[in-house]
Structures are given as C-alpha cells and as structure tokens.
Amino acid sequence: MFGPNNGFNNMNQMNMNQMNQMNMNPMNQMNMNPMNQMNMNNQMNMNQMNQMNMNNQINNMNQMNMLSRIKEEYDMCVQDNDLIQIGCNFGLINNNIYLWRITMVGPKGTPYEGGLYTIHATFPMNYPANGPEFKFMNKIYHLNVDFKNDLGHICINSINEWRIRGKVKDLPFYTVKQALFDIFCLFYNQGVEGAYDQGMANQYLNNRDAFNAEAKRWNDLYAKM
C-alpha cells in the first residue's frame, strides 16, 4: 500500500541527487567562477578609482593651499616697509606665482653701491615644506655667489637648509622676508668659510683693497642702473 508513495519519493530523491550533481559539476563551477572573478575585478577597479579620486582631491586641496600661501607671502613682501626701505621691488616672471623677480639696490658704503641686482626666486611644488631657490641673475663679485659652476647660486646656510631640508635650525618660522634680508646682508658681509673660489677668498683676506676694487668693477659692468 505504500509502494506508489515510495516510488514518488524515490523519484524526488533522484531529482535532488541530479541537481546536486549538476551543482558539483566542474563545468557549472567553471561557468560561475568567471562571473565571480569579473565581479571581484570590477570591485577592485572601483576601489582603485575611488582611491585615485581621493588622492587627486587631496592633491588639489594641497595645491590650492600652497598657491594661497605663496600669493599671501608675495602680497606681504610687496607691501612690507622694511623690504621697501632696503630697495626691494617685486614682480612675477611670465605672471607665474612660482617665479618671483626681485630687485635690490646695492647699499652705500659697499663696493656694490648703486648697482641694481636682480634675484630670481623659484618656489618648489611642495612649498612651504621646502623653501624657494634664490639666484643672482647678474654677476656679482662675491665670495658666496657662484658664477663658475652654478650661475648665481647663493651660499647662505639658512636658505640652503630651508630649500633642502625644509626647515632652518633654530629658526622654525623662517620666511621669504627673512631670506631676503639674509641676501641683502651679503652686500656687507663676505663669508670666507662658504667661499666658492679659494683664490677670491685669499684675495679678500690678504688684499682687501684689490678685492673691493674688483667687486666695484663688476658692479659697474654688470649691475649699473
């Protein structure tokens, strides 16, 4: 009396076994795995794109902050009475905020008196983490300005530390204004220890009149207003 139901149950059991066998079939698994892999790859690509977008947003924000900082410093320098009094004038090269053109007038009582000296300041892309590079653009006969190997490069420890290491020892809040005053002090001071040319340094130490005469000659040749 239970035969037909048992037969029906047996058929159901066979169908279930067949379905389970199909799911376990390597071919079916192969058909599903590529889809899963594609979905995983798409998810990874989306994550990478999201990370790139976040990085771009951060870089854009940093760029805007940096531009704002440079513009603010430029405006402050242009209007700064202390810098005006030492004869500093400012302009931008090709209207590029990263490239400043600064002029200084050689002070009285020095071999550079009456000379008009042009200095270029090049700001790095990560400013103010690292400071700008300053160079004299016209020749100056000075122990700490290199015109043999690196045209116009200035040897001042504070400026070099700021440019290379991103900070100045004992001067954590070093600014462009302070750097320009350090450069202006070069007209009065010669650092023998930081001299680029040993022959020039010997002349400065042993025959100051000859050194000053040569500095004045260069001033008249290359920095005449």
List the pLDDT tens digit at each of the 225 positions of the chain: 444 555 545 555 555 555 555 555 555 555 557 777 777 777 777 776 666 665 554 455 456 677 888 999 999 999 999 999 999 999 999 999 999 999 999 999 999 999 999 999 999 988 888 899 999 999 999 999 998 777 899 999 889 888 887 777 667 778 899 999 999 999 999 999 889 999 999 999 999 999 999 999 999 999 987
Query: What own/partner pairs with CB < 8 Å and gap ≥ 24 does 209-213 have?
Result: 211/141, 212/111, 213/111
Tell me how far CA of residue 10 lies from CA of 4, 13, 19, 21, 27, in angstroms. Answer: 10, 5, 14, 16, 27
Distance, CA of 199 to CA of 201 (rounded, Å): 5
Could you tell me the fold of the domain covering 78-222?
Ubiquitin Conjugating Enzyme (3.10.110)
Map out the domains of the chain as residue ranges.
Answer: 78-222
pLDDT score recorded for residue 58: 43
Q: Is the dihedral of CA 208, 214, 219, 222 positive or negative?
A: negative
Q: How far apart are the first and last CA of the chain?
A: 125
Q: How far apart are CA 101 and CA 153, in angstroms?
A: 15
- Return the pLDDT at 116: 96
| Residue 155 known to be catalytic | yes
pLDDT at 68: 87
How much is the pLDDT for 184?
97
In this structure, what token pair is assigned to residue 95?
A: 């209207």
DSSP string, 9-68: HHHHHHHHHHHHHHHH-HHHHHHHHHHHHHHHHHHHHHHHHHHHHHHHHHHHHHHHHHHH
Q: Which of 77, 88, 155, 185 is catalytic?
A: 155
Query: What pLDDT score was predicted for residue 24?
Result: 54
- Rounded to 5 degrees, φ, ψ at 223 are -135, 20
Given a contact cutoff of 8 angstroms between Cβ atoms, the answer to whether 132 and 163 are in contact is yes
What is the pLDDT, as a whole number, of residue 57? 47
